[in-house]
Structure 1
């Protein structure tokens, strides 16, 4: 049985924690017995966009219109393609800080955006009943 959506795991070392709007990367080098930790915090709109992309891309291009409607309009926020572009650019910059490749979120000219990663796991919190 699944609990509430907690976040996502990308490539087994990058965790997206929805409740804290944080992305954390933990890299362990067993040979050198070292650990590297990196973290970034996202704005609410960046996190909402990332969640929508991760839940709905799965190998398909998500149109700009769909993103504007689902991430902005349904939350009664002002949407525009310029705003979408700015948030995507900022999100990609934040993802790069923790080592996510630039092409993780790719633009399909004139169509929309797609997530380019085969190793994304959805994480759920366990209900305490």
Structure 2
């Protein structure tokens, strides 16, 4: 049984100790853990919809196994009524890895496994869930007459 069917929904991920990813807000940000000096550095990047779908899909399915290129094209592009192409996949992955490296993640956070597909090349990733309230599950508005 998935967490979603048990009353929980995926909120995002914590990557390492400092990187936070909020799916709903399409935001990835870094909150540095304590520092010797009193300076505070905050970094944040936003994702477009295609990049968001690709990143979430890889975090969900590519942390322990390689995700084939054809699967990414189908799930991220075709199922969102977009025209898939290897060139577009390469561009989005290149831009995604560049944004991830801006926040201090390795350049090969998403690695190309030649001839197989793509995999998340990072171990310390923790999914964060929240409990779905009854109000959130029921989209109808109930009013008293």
Q: Could you say whether these structures have the same fold, taking a TM-score greater than 0.5 normalized by the shorter chain as the test? A: yes
- Structure 1 runs not aligned, ≥5 long: none
- Structure 2 runs not aligned, ≥5 long: 1-5, 135-145
SS at match of 1:101: coil
2:70 is equivalent to residue 65 of structure 1: yes
Q: Which has the higher contact order (CA 8 A, sep 6+)?
A: 1
Quote the residue 1:94 is aligned against. 99
* Cα distance per residue 1:48-71 (max 9 Å; x no partner): 000000000122111100110111
For the aligned residues, what is the CA RMSD? 1.4
Q: Contact between 1:26 and 1:36, CA under 8 Å: does it hold in 2? A: yes
Quote the residue 1:77 is aligned against. 82
4+ residue runs over 4 A deviation: none
Query: Normalised by the size of structure 2, how large is the TM-score?
Result: 0.82
2:121 is equivalent to residue 125 of structure 1: no
Q: Measure how far apart 1:13 and its partner are.
A: 1.1
Taking the aligned partners of 1:8 and 1:28, their CA distance within structure 2 comes to 16
Q: Contact between 1:28 and 1:34, CA under 8 Å: does it hold in 2? A: no
Quote the residue 2:50 is aligned against. 45
Taking the aligned partners of 1:2 and 1:109, their CA distance within structure 2 comes to 39
Q: Kindly name which structure, 1 or 2, has the bigger radius of gyration based on alpha carbons.
A: 2
Aligned length: 129
